[in-house]
């Protein structure tokens, strides 16, 4: 008699677990964050109740709307939209594209992150000059580039980070990023690990995320995010630049292999966890 009940029970449990996993995709960013806080009790995730309250009205949603319009609009000297741009899942396929970046692109022979790929399409498809402000101006909520990035990335909200590591260059970039993350260097002899390698580290009031806790680290890498203190939506590359500045390193070249290697490593570290997009941070 007991067996069928047990069987039914285990079936029910598997069904619930499976549901919980896929449900992130139907959740708003603030709901995903709440679910992760309930699951982990992480002080890092839990540190800004005020920011969490603002998430439903995240100013980044303005950029999502404006980015959508820009994406589908015929623009540039060639007067075409970005619908033909392949972010890895086929031309114009945006759903789930961002959580599978950086990845190797055969047409360029390079591992590219969202920013590099977007710039590539604006230049090759739309015919923009690299120095055109549409391509060159990468930062600030008013830039075309941030609007486009925010729109594209948001099409992966709730999906699991899953950057491919099949191509040897994808693996090489991820591994190079790992070395860069742990290697101490620069005038202060900091590594990324010094601040992001254990739980409960703080700088003044800020609790810092730990790369060894994937369900905490997923929020750390969820960019674009509105930075409440800067009143601007910021990108992954902008965050990376900020941390290297804190380490007193010389300015990293945006879109360089070094920057993409670090991003490959940090995305791999959040593998399987739901992206929170757009996020809202301190």
Question: How far apart, in whole angstroms, are the C-alpha atoms of residue 82 and residue 126?
Answer: 7
Taking CA atoms, 3 is separated from 7, 9, 15, in Å, by 6, 10, 18
Taking CA atoms, 70 is separated from 142, 159, 179, 185, 279, in Å, by 12, 24, 38, 41, 21
The residues, any chain, with a CB within 8 Å of residue 217's CB and separated by 6 or more, are: 209, 210, 211, 266, 269, 270, 273
Least distance from C-beta 277 to ligand HEC, angstroms?
13
Least distance from C-beta 282 to ligand HEC, angstroms?
4
Of 13-21, 97-105, 131-139, 193-201, which segment contacts ligand HEC by CB under 6 A? 193-201
Residue 142 or 184 with smaller CB distance to ligand HEC = 184
End-to-end CA distance of the chain: 56
Least distance from C-beta 94 to ligand HEC, angstroms?
23
Q: How many CB atoms are closer than 10 A to CB 95? A: 11
Say how many CA atoms lie within 13 Å of 30 toward its Cβ.
Answer: 12
260 binds ligand HEC (CB under 6 A): no
Residue 126 or 235 with smaller CB distance to ligand HEC = 235
219 binds ligand HEC (CB under 6 A): yes
247 binds ligand HEC (CB under 6 A): yes
238 binds ligand HEC (CB under 6 A): no
Among 195, 275, 276, 280, binds ligand HEC (CB under 6 A): 195
- Judged by the rule CB under 6 A, the positions of this chain that interact with ligand HEC are 181, 190, 192, 194-196, 203, 206, 208-209, 219-221, 239-240, 243-244, 246-247, 262, 266, 281-282
């Amino acid at each position: 008699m007991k067996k069928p009940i047990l069987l039914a029970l285990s079936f029910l449990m598997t069904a619930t677990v499976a549901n919980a996993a896929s449900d992130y995709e139907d959740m708003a960013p603030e709901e995903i964050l709440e679910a992760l806080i309930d699951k982990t009790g992480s002080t890092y995730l839990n540190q800004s109740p005020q920011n969490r309250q603002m998430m439903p009205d995240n100013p980044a949603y303005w950029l999502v709307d404006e980015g959508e319009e820009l994406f589908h609009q015929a623009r540039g000297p060639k007067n075409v939209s970005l619908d033909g741009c392949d972010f890895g899942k086929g031309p114009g396929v945006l759903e789930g594209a961002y959580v599978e970046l950086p990845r190797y692109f055969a047409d360029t022979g390079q591992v590219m992150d969202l920013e590099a790929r977007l710039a590539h399409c604006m230049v090759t498809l739309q015919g923009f000059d690299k120095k055109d402000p549409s391509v060159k101006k990468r930062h600030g909520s008013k830039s075309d580039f941030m609007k486009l990035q925010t729109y594209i990335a948001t099409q992966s909200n709730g999906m699991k980070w899953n950057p491919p590591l099949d191509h040897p260059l994808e693996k090489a970039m991820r591994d190079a990023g790992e070395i860069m993350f742990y290697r101490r260097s620069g005038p202060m002899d900091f590594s990324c690990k010094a601040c992001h390698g254990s739980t409960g580290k703080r700088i003044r009031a800020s609790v810092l995320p730990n790369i060894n806790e994937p369900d905490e680290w997923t929020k750390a890498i969820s960019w674009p995010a509105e930075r409440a203190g800067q009143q601007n939506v910021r990108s992954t590359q902008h965050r990376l630049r900020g941390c290297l500045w804190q380490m007193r390193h010389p300015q990293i070249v945006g879109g360089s292999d070094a920057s993409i290697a670090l991003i490959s490593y940090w995305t791999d570290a959040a593998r399987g966890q739901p992206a929170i997009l757009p996020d809202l941070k301190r």
